[in-house]
Structure 1
Amino acid sequence: MRLTVKQWIQVVISLVVAIWIFWFLYKDVKMESLLEALQQASLFWICMSIGISILGFGVRAWRWKLLIDADLEERLPTSRAFWGLMIGYLVNMLIPRAGEVARCGVLKKTEKLPVSKLLGTVILERSVDLLFMLGVIFLAFILEREVFVGLANDLVSLEAIKTGLQEYMPLLISGVVLLGIVFYWVSHRYRDHGLVKKFHHFMRELIGGLKSVQRMKNRLGFWLSSVGIWIIYFLMMYFIAIGMPSTANLSPSAVLMVMVMGSIGMVAPVQGGIGTFHALVAFILMTYGLTEEEGKIFAIIVHSSQVLIVLVAGVISLLVVAKISVIAKPQAEHLRNN
């Protein structure tokens, strides 16, 4: 995947911002404190967290495979989806959000599948994840209502949001309608142009990917795996929490609240949620009585375990895909010659 100069500038800026946030957060945390926390932590529970995280990536790959299989005569091996998924996560560590395109590119290279249709399945995946994330936030609100309301009052002025919506909503609606009219006029005025035809073809493939959930043979497996992914995410964080003395007394609902804040931090457009994840997790832990240093140490242990998995599995996936490509190339040349 080639990047333009503008895209490289955006990548560098986001990386600089992430590093600066991380440095600002941890400049006062002593290495001795981190090492002491690691020594006191339960190796068993940290290994359990890493193990169930790996299982979570496998479940994600299987769920993606179910969507892709909806349009295939022969089923895609889950391992191929896993290699692509992990390469995507690895790319996200360098270029935020580029991993979604990268994993589609992997399957295009190894399975000769159209990127546009694969992107449709990825968008559907992310849309489902967003819905579940909103559901988890609502659950956290029910279980930790007092903490949630206190944070909302401290961070957001509900009255200001209401006033802003009332003031700018007509302008926003007018802008959306105007863009729709312009898009409709351009697409019909230049419908015979090559670029417009390519765009229409891309959109048809994309919509086809989005509709793949309707053609799935294993819809139950798709929805159960979607639930399982969030349960696994919770357990990954909960296992580390009960394995560390500073967080061992946190209730499951408190850990759920920490998971919610961490999820919001991971959504930020920086590499791998670096800085934003740590800041939000440390912030919410302070509301549960932990010191600032304890919150930051917990955040870095959780995040580092995930980064370690992505780096190891991502590099292995790159090697496997490279080997598959080397094997597939002579076969393709043989078919062309015959």
Structure 2
Amino acid sequence: MLVWLALRNLSPQDIEKMQDAFVRTNYYWLVPGLAVGMLSNVIRAYRWRLLLNAIGYNPKIGNTIYAVMVMYLGNLVFPRLGEVSRCALLARYENIPIQKSIGTMITERIVDVISMLLIGVYLFFAEYDVLSNFFEQTIFKSKSHSDTSMLKWVIMLLGLFLAIAVWFLLKRFKSHAFVRSIIEKIEGLLEGAKSIFKLKNAWLFIFYSIMVWLCYTLMIYICYQALVETSNASFNSALTLVFFGGIAFIATQGGIGSYPLAVQAVLLLYGIAGVIGYTFGWIVWGVQTVLVIAVGLLSLVLISVTNKATAQSEYKQ
């Protein structure tokens, strides 16, 4: 739907410019960019392994990497399928109880959310002029500063009211089966988060977390060089794109349709034509998706083959 809505608003001239941009793209620059993107997945696997070590399990790093690669493939098929798939793979090949690995996965996602919030805070100060113009023109359409401030307060108060209402309802109807199941899920999420406090090397975990997001940003920054129009874009613009691009991937399955639109919106803030930004978004999304499918399928085969070979070798001994 998002793809159709975006394309229907393109004029013949815009489509012609997109075709020209596709032809002019230096696809060789995408190779190192996407390689850095794949490196982030490997680092994510090492980080996940630290959490599993913290609860007493020591999976092979190969199996952990394969499971993470399959996760991204699964998420393209169905939302959150990949998260369950990676835990199921380690349950099968490493005998790690799936509920425990899901707990560590929840911890990972909490850390990712915190990381995005920290990035958002950094961007708020570092790119205030750029982002404030965007929000004032889109979300806060008021012309006066006082009206904009009033709207911000209204939104915050509504959010606070909603939080209090949810807390009251959960407390009032906690004996109800449906509400009890929600409370249990929340308690499980909090329990999963506790595994981070059992880490033997918390600094290494923090280092891996920083490297994951740095790799995401470097991937975009390197891919910028593929087009003349984006080649001079700043590192902070790449970080902004990673932030809003991450939200776009949450909005739609695999980021289809939403990711190119997010890229277009961000690059417009930095003075890059909308058609070029939209084209760049499709180029990065398309090549990255093909790579995720290829590496995911290969990992699915390799995790089966390598573990079968290991089992046969141990049997002979």
Is 2:300 the partner of 1:301?
no
Q: Paired residue for 1:147, among 130, 134, 145?
A: 130
Q: Paired residue for 2:153, among 158, 162, 177?
A: 162
Residues 251/330 of structure 1: CA separation in 2 closer, same or farther (3 Å cut): closer
Is 2:45 the partner of 1:54?
no
Report the secondary structure of 1:289's partner residue.
Answer: coil
Report the secondary structure of 1:113's partner residue.
Answer: coil
What residue number does 2:217 align with? 234
Report the secondary structure of 2:229's partner residue.
Answer: coil
Q: Paired residue for 2:193, among 201, 210, 214?
A: 210
Q: Which runs of 5+ in 2 are unaligned?
A: 141-147
Residues 72/31 of structure 1: CA separation in 2 closer, same or farther (3 Å cut): farther
What residue number does 2:263 align with? 281
Q: How many residues align?
A: 301
Identity, in percent, stands at: 27
Is 2:93 the partner of 1:110?
yes
1:47 and 1:301 mapped to 2: Cα distance?
12
Report the secondary structure of 2:227's partner residue.
Answer: coil
- TM-score, normalising length from structure 1? 0.79
Residues 175/248 of structure 1: CA separation in 2 closer, same or farther (3 Å cut): closer
Is 2:73 the partner of 1:67?
no
> CA shift at 1:263, angstroms?
1.9
Residue 262 of structure 1 contacts residue 277 of structure 1 at CA under 8 Å; is this kept in 2? yes
> CA shift at 1:210, angstroms?
2.5
1:227 and 1:40 mapped to 2: Cα distance?
34
Q: Paired residue for 2:21, among 33, 37, 54?
A: 37
Residues 1-338 of structure 1 mapped to structure 2, 5 A cutoff: 20-27=1-8, 28=10, 33-34=17-18, 36-72=20-56, 75-157=58-140, 158=148, 159-166=150-157, 169-170=160-161, 172-183=163-174, 185=175, 209-268=192-251, 270-323=252-305
Residue 22 of structure 2 contacts residue 279 of structure 2 at CA under 8 Å; is this kept in 1? no
Provide, for residues 167-186 of structure 1, a one-character-per-residue CA deviation record: whole Å limited to 9, x for no partner: 57446414322313432x46
> CA shift at 1:31, angstroms?
7.1
Provide, for residues 68-93 of structure 1, a one-character-per-residue CA deviation record: whole Å limited to 9, x for no partner: 111225x2112111111111111110
1:77 and 1:35 mapped to 2: Cα distance?
46
1:119 and 1:92 mapped to 2: Cα distance?
15
Residues 32/327 of structure 1: CA separation in 2 closer, same or farther (3 Å cut): farther
Report the secondary structure of 1:211's partner residue.
Answer: helix
Q: Which runs of 5+ in 1 are unaligned?
A: 1-19, 191-195
Residue 134 of structure 2 contacts residue 269 of structure 2 at CA under 8 Å; is this kept in 1? no
1:203 and 1:61 mapped to 2: Cα distance?
25
Residues 266/204 of structure 1: CA separation in 2 closer, same or farther (3 Å cut): closer
> CA shift at 1:255, angstroms?
2.5
2:137 and 2:188 mapped to 1: Cα distance?
45
**Which residue identity does 1:287 align to in structure 2?**
L
Residues 331/161 of structure 1: CA separation in 2 closer, same or farther (3 Å cut): farther
Q: CA RMSD in A?
A: 3.0
> CA shift at 1:247, angstroms?
0.5
> CA shift at 1:143, angstroms?
2.1
What residue number does 2:143 align with? none
**Which residue identity does 2:302 align to in structure 1?**
V
Residues 253/122 of structure 1: CA separation in 2 closer, same or farther (3 Å cut): same
Residues 114/180 of structure 1: CA separation in 2 closer, same or farther (3 Å cut): farther
> CA shift at 1:309, angstroms?
2.1
Residue 26 of structure 1 contacts residue 296 of structure 1 at CA under 8 Å; is this kept in 2? no
1:170 and 1:33 mapped to 2: Cα distance?
48
1:297 and 1:168 mapped to 2: Cα distance?
36
